[in-house]
A = this chain, B = another copy of it.
Amino acid sequence: MGTTASSSSPLRIGLAGLGTVGAGVIRLLQSNGDLIAGRAGRPIEVTAVSARERGKDRGVDISGFAWEDDMTALAARDDVDVVVELVGGSDGPALTLSRAAFNGGKSLVTANKAMIAHHGMELARQAEAGGHALKFEAAVAGGIPVVKGLREGASANELTRVYGILNGTCNYILTTMEATGADFGETLAEAQALGYAEADPTFDIEGVDAAHKLAILATIGFGVELDFANVDTVGIVQVRAADIAQADALGFVIRLIGEADVQNDADGPKLLQRVRPCLVAKDHPLAPVDGPTNAVVAEGNYVGRLLFQGAGAGDGPTASAVVADLIDIARGDVGTPFSAPVDALAKLAPAEPGGRMGRAYLRFTVNDRPGVLAEITAAMRDADVSIESLIQLGLQKAGGGSDDNEVLVAMVTHEGPEANVGKALALLDGSDSLTGEPLVLPIMA
């Protein structure tokens, strides 16, 4: 059981990264210390810390901890059992520290979704080889114990599908657009002002953060190798207020959904992983999830549909997940990082994009002139896409007036092969009737 499972002596933590989450972990370990010691069977104590600036005021007293200028030195300290990595970034110092932790005979707890998505297999192999723990509950869906929920709670099941709302920034923006009718740019600026979006929001709004988390959930849920590179990812930048209004009229809301499943093709099982803004029926459990909340649904062959919901980010919830991992380690639970040993994870080919049956929402912005609708509907017919409903309406200008030259055409398709929608768009590619890229949003089944 490595170095971490001894009986009643304190579990000693070396903490790298003293941002809001790092400070939250220190605050949590102090304020709930007695309760944690009772549950863990022994105290959990920070012994050493490292961050960029030593003197910065973080609202917590770090004077009682040893300081390391070089965070990698935490991995070599004799008074550290577990390294907690809260630095972030898929590579660089975080990865160097993590490798050093296992080399130094320590366990590792991290909130770093990017690093796990990119290097989780390598790190898990290192952890297993040394008999050390590698835990990352905080990397997926903040405070929600969904890594544990899938890895242990649903462990008796063959999961058929895992999906959910995995990025609080996008969910805040989409549900605010829904509530206010405002457009994307304006709502993003407001989210940044309120601290719900970062100064550089690219990773969030482009879906990359959700893709990191989805790849981790797929690995745990299906017992497959991590394959972040094949997560088919589209963010929320193209979603307009008009799309949300159209979806609403049709009985749907729009949410950024990360979704993974395994489908058995003729030549073996394939892994589908995609992050997309989707139309979600208003009576679906994910529809009422608003603001920065996260929610994950897992469907198993015995348990049916499980839903886990809670705060997807923030220092308190993230610290809660980090410390839950530490309590598990203090209790002697080393386990395997994923649901099975890393060498037993199946290597699945990615599913062909477009190989599924589904319904979709399509939105075009077009020049308002005769024949445009005929051109679009002909392309649909020629690609064998069956239209369930269609609406055309003038686009509102920012000032409130309508633009005489541009209109919006939105439609919902009947269920059919997703690839056919792609064929229809290819037929329309280059048409000078279109004033912008068409938007295609899957309708969640």
Contact = CB atoms under 8 A, between A and B. Distances in A.
A32 B137 CA distance: 26
B304 A317 contact: yes
15 contacts: A31-B301, A36-B156, A38-B344, A39-B340, A137-B153, A143-B304, A148-B152, A154-B320, A155-B323, A157-B320, A302-B319, A303-B311, A307-B307, A307-B310, A331-B335
B35 A223 contact: yes
Contacts of A154: 145, 320, 324
Interface residues of A, number: 59
B304 A156 contact: no
Chain A interface helix/strand/loop/mixed: mixed
A316 B285 CA distance: 21
A257 interface: no
Q: Name, among A31, A288, A344, the residue most crowded by chain B CB atoms within 10 Å (CB to CB).
A: A288
The 7 closest A-B pairs by CB, nearest first: A145-B153, A156-B323, A303-B320, A143-B303, A307-B309, A302-B320, A302-B316
A4 interface: no
Contact of A316 (B155, B304, B323): B304
A427 interface: no
A152 B308 contact: no
A143 B223 contact: no
A35 to B, nearest CB: 6
Contacts of A158: 32, 35
Contacts of A285: 288, 309
Given A32-B156, A155-B327, A305 B301 contact: no
Contacts of A324: 152-156
A339 interface: yes
B302 A28 contact: yes
A215 to B, nearest CB: 19
